[in-house]
Amino acid sequence: MKDLPYVDFGHTPYEAAFGRADVYGVNGTPERAAKRPLSIAIAGCGGVAQAKWVPAIRRLQTIGEPLAIAGVVDPDEARRQKTASLCAAPAFATLSELLAKTRVDIVLVLSSDSFHVPLAEQAIERGVSCLVEKPLARSYREASSLARLAEERGVLLAAVANKRFSPPYAQAKALIDAGALKDRPTIFTGKFTLGYPYVDLLEGGTVHLLDLLLWFMGPVARLSAQGTFQDDGRLESAVVSFGFVSGAIGTIMTSATGLSFAPWERVEIFGRNAFLVVDDQFELTLHDGEAAPARSWRPSVPNTLMFDESFGGYSGLLENVLDSLRGLATLGSNGCDGAAAIALIDAIRMSLERGAEIDLSIEGLMP
């Protein structure tokens, strides 16, 4: 690898700050201004919609993305009214009402998990593209049939995988693609911990780590899980080992006995006499020589040029989805990617139940 690839770490892009003297990137660019204007609907006005997606939309609009919010939907009146006022857009109690009254290019499905599939199906049936929060569905069967429906109708279906667009992980991927590990990835190890008890350990949190594992390593051929359980039968902790189709191997631990804030998440990827580590979705370190210095990347916090919407991966993901819709980019995480992460959750549950290794192909859990 001759040159290190450059991924901005959530700050104003270098070229905007130093090339155009536009430290917040608010002047836009002719390329951005020339993009086809798009109209977004938000279905689900809870925490993630208000705290992450509305700011991500606003960030893109601030830097000149031609984008409008057509309306917001939530059965809960107080939430939809609050979000409608944040968005300066009309509020609807149901998605069908919104779709009947408004023209939209894409629906962001940000509702509680059980409503992801029915809401996405409604939009796709009407030929409207969707970006669906994780988990894409509650089972691989449901997720893959949603992906099939979108394909049959020729409608874009994107799955939320915001960590792929978070700078430490995006930089890790760029380094691997540029040959920094001196070989294809040979081993993946990952850790995820969660302190708060009200979300499902696998669907609510570990799904992010499983998506990263698939993104870095490719499809899984088989896995084997061991777990401990809470008094009410819910999964408390699990250790899972993986055999990848490529021949590489991996392992993750995930637990609800830890802390949610830090230490929280760690990913290590080994190549051949080189490996990299991403700690707490914050710092990336590359070790590529016995006597060579390690290299590390992390954001400057606090820094007035640092944007949380960008560092969390939300605005980068949304920009990629909108550009894919316009035919300007390849979709970074599609319905099949979302379904593949759910397949791993189904397989982990099967392995825990049977106390046996699961072959994903035999179980019909491979696309």
Ligand X SMILES: NC(=O)c1ccc[n+]([C@@H]2O[C@H](COP(=O)([O-])OP(=O)(O)OC[C@H]3O[C@@H](n4cnc5c(N)ncnc54)[C@H](O)[C@@H]3O)[C@@H](O)[C@H]2O)c1
- Under the criterion CB under 6 A, does residue 146 sit at the interface with ligand X? no
Check residue 318 for interaction with ligand X (CB under 6 A): no
Site string for ligand X, 64-93 (x = CB under 6 A): ---------xxxx--x--------------
160, 214, 267, 352: which one binds ligand X (CB under 6 A)? 160
Q: Strand runs (DSSP E) across the chain, as ranges?
A: 38-43, 67-73, 91-92, 106-109, 129-132, 157-159, 187-193, 220-229, 235-244, 249-255, 265-270, 275-279, 283-287, 295-297, 358-359
d(CA 359, CA 224): 9
Helix (H) or strand (E) holding 116: helix 116-125
* Residue in 41, 43, 240, 347 binding ligand X, rule: CB under 6 A: 43
Smallest separation (angstroms) from ligand X to the CB of 155 = 19
Comparing C-alpha atoms, which of 252, 189, 244 is closest to residue 221? 244
Which of 288, 346 has the CB closer to ligand X?
346
Nearer to ligand X, 112 or 330 (CB): 112
Backbone φ, ψ for residue 160 (5° rounding): -65, 120
Of 57, 56, 51, 93, nearest to 72 by C-alpha is 93
Task: Please pick, from the candidates 37, 47, 263, 289, the single residue that binds ligand X as defined by CB under 6 A.
Answer: 47
Binding range to ligand X, per CB under 6 A, among 108-116, 168-176, 240-248, 338-346: 108-116
Nearest approach in angstroms of CB 77 to ligand X is 10
Ranked by CB distance to ligand X, the top (closest) residue is: 46
Q: Which of 65, 133, 265, 279 binds ligand X (CB under 6 A)?
A: 133
Q: Does 46 bind ligand X (CB under 6 A)?
A: yes
Pairing type for strands 187-193 and 129-132 reads unpaired
Cβ neighbors of 324 (< 8 A, separation 6 or more) are 156, 158, 330, 331, 332
From 112-120, 187-195, 229-237, 275-283, give the range in contact with ligand X by CB under 6 A.
112-120
**CA 284 – CA 6 distance, rounded (Å):** 13
The C-alpha atoms of residue 13 and residue 266 are separated, in whole angstroms, by 26
Cα–Cα separations (whole angstroms), residue 322 to 171, 175, 224: 22, 25, 38
Quickly tell me which residue has 């009402």 as its tokens. Answer: 97
Nearer to ligand X, 56 or 358 (CB): 56
Task: Tokens for 100, please give them.
Answer: 């009947």
In order of 116, 140, 322, 333, 365, the CA distances from 122 in angstroms are: 10, 19, 20, 21, 25
- In angstroms, the CA 359 to CA 354 distance is 12
Q: Are 127 and 150 within 8 A, CB to CB?
A: no
- Residue 195 in contact with ligand X, rule: CB under 6 A: no
Total binding residues toward ligand X, as defined by CB under 6 A? 24
Residue number with CB closer to ligand X (92 or 244): 92
By CB under 6 A, which span of 41-49, 121-129, 173-181, 277-285 interacts with ligand X? 41-49
What is the distance between the alpha carbons of residues 336 and 115, in angstroms, rounded to a whole number? 19
Give yes or no for residue 338 binding ligand X (CB under 6 A): no
Span near ligand X by CB under 6 A; candidates 104-112, 252-260, 269-277, 351-359:
104-112
Task: Give whichever of 248 and 252 is closer to ligand X, judged by the CB atom.
Answer: 252
Stretch binding ligand X (CB under 6 A), from 40-48, 54-62, 335-343, 356-364: 40-48
Binding residue for ligand X (CB under 6 A) from 22, 113, 268, 308? 113
115 binds ligand X (CB under 6 A): yes
Residues that bind ligand X (CB under 6 A): 43-49, 73-76, 79, 95, 110-113, 115, 119, 133-134, 160, 162, 204
